[in-house]
């Protein structure tokens, strides 16, 4: 049984899938209520970085399964965070370690989940659960500590819960007003803060990971977060008067096909001849938004890509990148107008679209996470390329 420092006995908790499977374990984190919680159950294969995953806004509305055998060893700190709060709806692990050991830790995993009101379940066979999700596809699940509820009732509860398909979790996940960002990672930095070569960029915030913003700062940019609902005319004015020299669309949660207003905004920016010299880049959900804005479609993957060792073929550089990924939707390659659009990257596991660009334009996007926190830094040049092109756009405007 997992290591709990609490003097009270671990409380039995069940995870029921809408496909009918029941997994029984013990609760940690927030288990003081009998109210069941539901969400799409997804798995991440990374062997490290559970704190980044827990705080990644792209996991909003989901129950996260960590396939790494033992979780909680390093506790929780205030550095390895992707947002200001825990985003997952529930957390599933095989072995939970509450007696953490790390010089940066200021709290245990159990403490932080408890404070956030997020339930965890441990001592279940996460390998068997992952096999179910891989074979059946990600499915809705329910977590409950109420022992009086029959298994059949929990399964029915899961079947009645809303699906991620058609769900908009991005709206409301970002900032409400324009917000400057100045924090870098203090590592891997390519330029000096305060340098005259720095450029201002606008980041349309759909639930951005903090390390995307830190990576932009490291590469020489001064980002300003823009609310997701910012009007295209407002962004155009910011570009033309030099307040920003490029636009980045962030990652985010939910079904990209629901974000019609944002797609329309991005389409207006791309199609405006006055803005042709300004770069528009996107990451993950931002990639899917740009793809829709240029006429492509998205679809839901069977079980998604979530981990830090996904191989991506760079079609332009004739090399393979090992990347960090977290998404459940992808771009339909048959919907891409390849006379206008170039597929720049391909996922080697399933040949899905990993990146796109408009031919002859600096409108480009990638499905993976080049900031890779955690993960390999093979894709770091994505940020330096974006900042370099922003600098050229600024120089061309005489700003």
Determine the Cα–Cα distance for residues 263 and 267; give it in Å rounded to an integer: 6
CATH number at residue 351: 3.40.50.880
Which of the following is catalytic: 305, 365, 371, 390? 371
Model pLDDT for residues 22-62, shown as the tens digit of each residue: 999 999 999 866 789 999 999 999 999 999 999 999 999 99
Model confidence pLDDT, tens digit, residues 191-205: 444 455 799 999 999
Residue 7 — very low, low, confident or very high, per pLDDT cuts 50/70/90?
Answer: very low
Residue 393 has which token pair?
């756009």
Given 160, 188, 215, the domain boundary residue is: 160
Q: What is the mean pLDDT of residues 362-375?
A: 94
Q: What pLDDT is attached to residue 398?
A: 57
Residues above pLDDT 70, as percent of the chain: 94
Range 211-224 burial, b when 16+ CB lie within 10 A, else e: bbbbbbbbbbbbbb
203 CB-side CA count, 13 A: 34
Q: Which stretch of 119-133, 192-206, 210-224, 331-345 has the lowest confidence by average pLDDT?
A: 192-206
Task: Identify whether 26 is part of a domain.
Answer: yes
Burial of 334 (0-12, 13-18, 19+ CB in 10 A): exposed
Q: Output the CA torsion 21→25→28→30 (10° steps).
A: 40
Are residues 386 and 238 part of one domain? Answer: yes
Contact between residue 346 and residue 315 where contact means Cβ atoms under 8 Å apart: yes
List pLDDT tens digits, range 267-290: 999 999 999 999 999 999 999 999
Q: State how far the Cα of 24 lies from the Cα of 125, in Å rounded to an integer.
A: 9
Whether 272 and 217 map to the same domain: the answer is yes
d(CA 30, CA 248) in angstroms, rounded, equals: 36
In a domain, 120, yes or no: yes
Q: Catalytic residue at 342?
A: no
Specify the pLDDT at position 4. 45
Mean pLDDT, all residues of the chain: 93
150, 188: one domain = no
Rounded to 5°, angle at Cα 102 from 99 and 103: 130
* 3-class SS of residue 197: coil
Q: pLDDT grade, residue 386 (50/70/90)? A: very high
In a domain, 208, yes or no: yes
Residue 168 in any domain: the answer is: no
Res. 309: pLDDT tops 50: yes
Which domain covers residue 292, as residue numbers? 179-396
In this prediction, residue 316 carries a pLDDT of 87
Q: Looking at the whole model, is its pTM more than 0.85? A: yes
Segment among 273-282, 335-344, 352-361, 389-398 with least mean pLDDT: 389-398
Question: Quick one: pLDDT at residue 192?
Answer: 46
Note whether 154 and 183 are same-domain residues.
no
Cα of 265 vs its chain's centroid, Å: 21
At 197 the pLDDT is 76
Question: Which of the two residues, 69 and 4, has the higher pLDDT score?
Answer: 69
For residues 189 and 141, state if they share a domain: no
Q: Domains in the chain: how many in total?
A: 2
Residues 6+ apart with CB under 8 A from 158: 16, 17, 18, 38, 139, 140, 141, 142
Residue 255's pLDDT is: 96
In the annotation, is 110 catalytic? no
Are 73 and 194 found together in one domain?
no
Residue linked to tokens 């529930």: 90
Tens-place pLDDT, residues 211-220:
999 999 999 9
Structure tokens at 355: 């990146």
Closest CA to 223 of 383, 72, 364, 42: 383
Where a domain ends, among 160, 189, 216? 160
Catalytic residue among 206, 284, 365, 390: 284
On whether both 145 and 186 belong to a single domain, the answer is no
Give the distance, in angstroms, between the CA of residue 38 and the centroid of all CA atoms in the same chain: 19
Catalytic, 371? Answer yes
Report the relative pairing of strands 363-366 and 179-180 from DSSP bridges: unpaired
Characterize the bridge pairing of strands 363-366 and 353-358: antiparallel
Residue 122 sits in the same domain as residue 202:
no
- Shared domain for 273 and 315, answered yes or no, is yes
């Amino acid at each position: 049984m997992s290591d709990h420092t609490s003097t009270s006995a671990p409380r039995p908790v069940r995870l029921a899938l809408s496909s009918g499977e029941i997994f029984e374990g013990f609760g940690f984190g927030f288990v003081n209520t009998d109210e069941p919680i539901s969400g799409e159950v997804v798995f991440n294969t990374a062997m490290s970085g559970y704190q980044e995953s827990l705080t990644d806004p792209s996991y909003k509305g989901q129950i996260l399964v960590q396939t790494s055998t033992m979780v909680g060893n390093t506790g929780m700190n205030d550095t390895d965070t992707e947002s200001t709060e825990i985003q997952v709806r529930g957390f599933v692990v095989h072995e939970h370690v509450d007696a953490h050991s790390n010089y940066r830790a200021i709290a245990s995993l159990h403490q932080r989940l408890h404070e956030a009101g997020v339930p965890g379940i441990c001592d279940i066979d996460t390998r068997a659960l992952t096999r179910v999700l891989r074979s059946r596809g990600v499915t809705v699940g329910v977590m409950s500590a109420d022992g009086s509820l029959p298994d059949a009732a929990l399964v029915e509860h899961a079947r009645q819960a809303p699906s991620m398909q058609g769900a908009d979790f991005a709206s409301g996940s970002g900032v409400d007003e324009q917000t400057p960002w100045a924090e870098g990672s203090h590592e891997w930095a390519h330029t000096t803060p305060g340098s005259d070569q720095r450029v201002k960029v606008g980041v349309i915030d759909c639930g951005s990971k903090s390390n995307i913003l830190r990576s932009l700062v490291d590469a020489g940019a001064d980002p300003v977060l823009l609310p997701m609902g910012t009007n295209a005319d407002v962004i155009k004015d910011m570009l033309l008067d030099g307040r920003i020299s490029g636009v980045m669309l962030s990652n985010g949660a939910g079904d990209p096909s629901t974000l019609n207003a944002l797609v329309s905004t991005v389409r207006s920016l791309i199609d405006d001849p006055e803005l042709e010299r300004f770069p528009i880049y996107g990451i993950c959900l931002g990639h899917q938004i740009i793809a829709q804005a240029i006429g492509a479609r998205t679809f839901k993957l069977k079980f998604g890509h979530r981990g830090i060792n996904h191989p991506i073929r760079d079609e332009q550089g004739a090399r393979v990148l090992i990347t960090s990924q977290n998404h459940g939707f992808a771009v339909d390659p048959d919907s891409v107008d390849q006379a206008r659009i170039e597929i720049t990257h391909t996922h080697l596991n399933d040949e899905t679209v990993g990146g796109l660009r408009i031919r002859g334009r600096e409108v480009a996007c990638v499905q993976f996470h080049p900031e890779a926190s955690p993960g390999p830094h093979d894709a770091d040049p994505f940020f330096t390329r974006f900042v370099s092109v922003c600098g050229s756009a600024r120089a061309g405007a005489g700003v």
